[in-house]
Structure 1
Amino acid sequence: MRTPWRRREPLDRVELAGLLPGPGDPELPRDRLTALEEHLMNEIQQHQARQQSDPQSDPQPQPQPQPWPQSDPQSERSAALFPPPPPVVERRSRRRIALIGAAVAVAVLAGAVGLGRLGPGRESEGGGQAMVPAPVVRVVPGTTQGLGSTVDRISVAAGKERQTEPGPGQFIYIRSQVSWLSTDNNVDSGETRTWVQKLHPREVWLSPDGHKGWLIETGNGNTSKEGMGLDSDADPYLSAPSYDYLKTLPTDPDALLKKIYAESEGMGNGKDQEAFTVIGDLVREQLMTPELTAALYRAAAKIPGVVLVDEARDAVGRSGIAIARADEHSGERTEWIFDAKSFSYLGERTVQVREANGIAAGTVTARTAITERAVVDGMKAAPGKGKA
């Protein structure tokens, strides 16, 4: 005999709370949120680059990657383990994300959108990124002893550098070798593996006013061989600057640092870490007057937590000393590397100084090396060689 149907009464909230485990904190760390945003931007850019290089290969519109699929059971499990973060007010422009290009296949998305599993020297199924095991180095302790005198030498060297002023129709050209972090997470087994992109070239062209630009970075899966435009109608600001805008900044270190704190308030993992990050972004992939560059280094030395590291190597193996600061939240230490004799800027390195998020201490999660910085006569022109 069939059991008569009865309407189920909802459980009392107190009773339900007793049956279920307590809720966790759904808010992801700020560095993971940034990683999510940058990965999604890279997925979109890769799709657009493929269409630009071969318009007939993809005649039908394809759905954009969704970070939290609703129908796939594995994706639903990922969404349950890693709930979507609350809305975040993001003040950094899309153009800045493209310029920095810190493309990471985040652990959450590796399970949620089915990124290809990676092995040594292999490429992901859709990303076009050649991945290798992340290098591990000895974590050299940092110290404040000698920091002031070293920053003075670096600032004096920067102030003496000769620089070509970009004129109308010219572009700032920066070539570098880069590699960024990727984390591969198996949501079924819980296993996490950390890889980095294979070291690859990156070329950026920027107009002095910041409204026109071009990026070629095929090894990151960001662009096709022809590259992609970075044009922007937005007014430049500190986190998405232009050469002309940077010329308006104060060159007094105290006034400069005050402005950086004000402009970056509420962003990143604390005001001191974000101020250090802003300065590092400017130094790495911009052209500035020698006076401003020197002032930025002196301003950085005033940030609490900044230390001197007497041994570091950039992405192409050049050794030097480093001005560094460790992020208390992520356990990563960002190091600006300088030649130990000439005190010229070489590049940047990020090292995990303590185990966090499954990444062991000593793991190098990002590497850059600036190999050329010049003023050229046109978009996609190479120094001394005309059009690239």
Structure 2
Amino acid sequence: MNVDEMKDVRDFRAGAPTPDRGRLAAGRDRLTAAAKGGRVRRLRADWRFAAVGAAAALTVVAVLAANIGGNGDRTAPADTRTVRGSVGEVMNRAADTIEKADPPATPHAGQWIYKKTLSRDPGGWPRSKADPTPEAKPQESWTLYADPRFEDGKEGDDRSPRERLQFLNTLPDDPDAVLKKVRAYYPSGKGNPESEGEHDMRAMSVVLETRPMPPKALAKLYRALAEVPGAEVTPRLVHDAAGRDAIAVGHDEKGQEVRREILIDPRTYQYLGDRWLIVKDYKESFAFTGDDTPDRPWKAGDIMFQTALLDTAVVDHKGDRP
């Protein structure tokens, strides 16, 4: 692999935390065809909202189009609003809405998936006045839709967007069967001590980042998410890394210290990103590094890492933007 290829691989993983088998390739939001002759295929808005009524729908589209990364006219604090229903009721409601949308256009070989993300973390350890928490800045990346380097069939390899789309189109209808297939697609690997619920949440968080995302496949993933062992929805809206309101879906199990949560827009049911939330006080040891780095204390409620998907598009050339 030459220098340019290595740079492409780094770009492919831009914005990701320390990689593991479940934190593979990220993608962009749903894709649709743009006007003929344009060099960029833009996102359509029609899949992002529930068709409650023409006037209400147009209002939502206007807000989303004006400010995809912000809160629009949402002025009430997120922690004052309740998410109503069980995880099954919430995810089935989301699935029922999403699956009615028209499918996106399929990119062709030679096109690129553009993505803008925002990641936040508390910074390095130990902290000092000279080493403040880093400022979060949006990151951009371009991933070749059909990249043969990620289509070699090797287990654990990052998969190209084309490969992941082909996988999504083969998902069964039964939620338990979907979970089984997702686990097999992103396996734990030998010696990985994670529980089944942890494995499911890790693998699902990767699959949900796939772009383009067919609405019917997304609906199947949402219904399967409700079947993850210990799955639950946070009873109040949270904020994602970009400050947007979000429904947080995670899983709970005995002895859990870190809870991986998938974040979903409460109005449109669009996938927004994810976060790692500390649910139990504990200290992170660095003894394995062989130096004298002190243990890092984490408190319940701390956010270890979070990432938000801000903008996406299918473009004809690397470097093109929407």
Superposed displacement of residue 103, structure 1: 4.8
TM-score, normalised by the number of residues in structure 1: 0.52
Are the structure 2 counterparts of residues 172 and 157 from structure 1 closer, same or farther at C-alpha, using a change threshold of 3 Å? farther
Is structure 2 residue 310 aligned with structure 1 residue 371?
A: yes
C-alpha separation in 2, matches of 1:329 and 1:181: 23
User: Runs of 5+ in structure 2 lacking a partner?
Assistant: 20-77, 284-296
Superposed displacement of residue 257, structure 1: 1.1
Q: Could you list the per-position Cα deviations for residues 325-361 of structure 1 after superposition, in whole angstroms to 9, with x for gaps in the alignment?
A: 2475661122222222222222222211111221111
Contact residue 139 and residue 361 of structure 1 kept, 8 A = no
**Which residue pairs with 1:349 in the alignment?**
275
Partner SS, residue 362 of structure 1: coil
Are the structure 2 counterparts of residues 195 and 335 from structure 1 closer, same or farther at C-alpha, using a change threshold of 3 Å? farther
Contact residue 115 and residue 309 of structure 2 kept, 8 A = yes
The percent of aligned pairs where both chains have the same amino acid is 23
Superposed displacement of residue 98, structure 1: 2.9
Please, what is the CA RMSD of the aligned residues?
A: 3.7
Is structure 2 residue 186 aligned with structure 1 residue 260?
A: no
Contact residue 150 and residue 158 of structure 2 kept, 8 A = no
More moved, 324-333 vs 145-154: 324-333
Are the structure 2 counterparts of residues 268 and 165 from structure 1 closer, same or farther at C-alpha, using a change threshold of 3 Å? farther
C-alpha separation in 2, matches of 1:235 and 1:99: 22
Larger radius of gyration: 1
Alignment of 1:144-155 (within 5 A): 146-155=86-95
**Which residue pairs with 1:362 in the alignment?**
301
C-alpha separation in 1, matches of 2:15 and 2:155: 15
Contact residue 197 and residue 251 of structure 2 kept, 8 A = no
**Which residue pairs with 2:263 in the alignment?**
337
Are the structure 2 counterparts of residues 233 and 356 from structure 1 closer, same or farther at C-alpha, using a change threshold of 3 Å? same
**Which residue pairs with 1:128 in the alignment?**
none
Superposed displacement of residue 242, structure 1: 2.5
User: Runs of 5+ in structure 1 lacking a partner?
Assistant: 1-47, 53-93, 105-137, 212-230, 384-388
Match of 1:308 among 223, 230, 233: 233
Contact residue 11 and residue 143 of structure 2 kept, 8 A = no
**Which residue pairs with 1:20 in the alignment?**
none
Q: Which amino acid counterpart does residue 16 of structure 2 have in structure 1?
A: G
TM-score, normalised by the number of residues in structure 2: 0.61
Match of 1:102 among 10, 17, 23: 17
Partner SS, residue 275 of structure 1: helix
Contact residue 181 and residue 195 of structure 1 kept, 8 A = no
Contact residue 109 and residue 146 of structure 2 kept, 8 A = no
Q: Which amino acid counterpart does residue 323 of structure 1 have in structure 2?
A: V
Is structure 2 residue 159 aligned with structure 1 residue 250?
A: no
**Which residue pairs with 1:39 in the alignment?**
none
Q: How many residues align?
A: 235
Q: Which amino acid counterpart does residue 267 of structure 2 have in structure 1?
A: K
Contact residue 179 and residue 199 of structure 1 kept, 8 A = yes
C-alpha separation in 2, matches of 1:255 and 1:272: 15
Taking CA–CA contacts closer than 8 Å with sequence separation of 6 or more, which of the two structures ends up with the larger relative contact order?
2
Alignment of 1:210-359 (within 5 A): 210-211=147-148, 232=150, 234-235=152-153, 240-246=158-164, 247-248=166-167, 249-252=170-173, 253-263=175-185, 264-266=187-189, 267=192, 269-284=194-209, 286-309=211-234, 310-326=236-252, 331-357=257-283, 358-359=297-298
Contact residue 123 and residue 134 of structure 2 kept, 8 A = yes
Match of 1:200 among 134, 137, 141: 137
Contact residue 228 and residue 251 of structure 2 kept, 8 A = no
Partner SS, residue 205 of structure 2: helix
Superposed displacement of residue 318, structure 1: 0.8
Q: Which amino acid counterpart does residue 313 of structure 1 have in structure 2?
A: H
Q: Which amino acid counterpart does residue 377 of structure 1 have in structure 2?
A: D
Q: Could you list the per-position Cα deviations for residues 300-342 of structure 1 after superposition, in whole angstroms to 9, with x for gaps in the alignment?
A: 1111111011321111111122211247566112222222222
**Which residue pairs with 1:176 in the alignment?**
117
C-alpha separation in 1, matches of 2:177 and 2:118: 33
Q: Which amino acid counterpart does residue 162 of structure 2 have in structure 1?
A: D
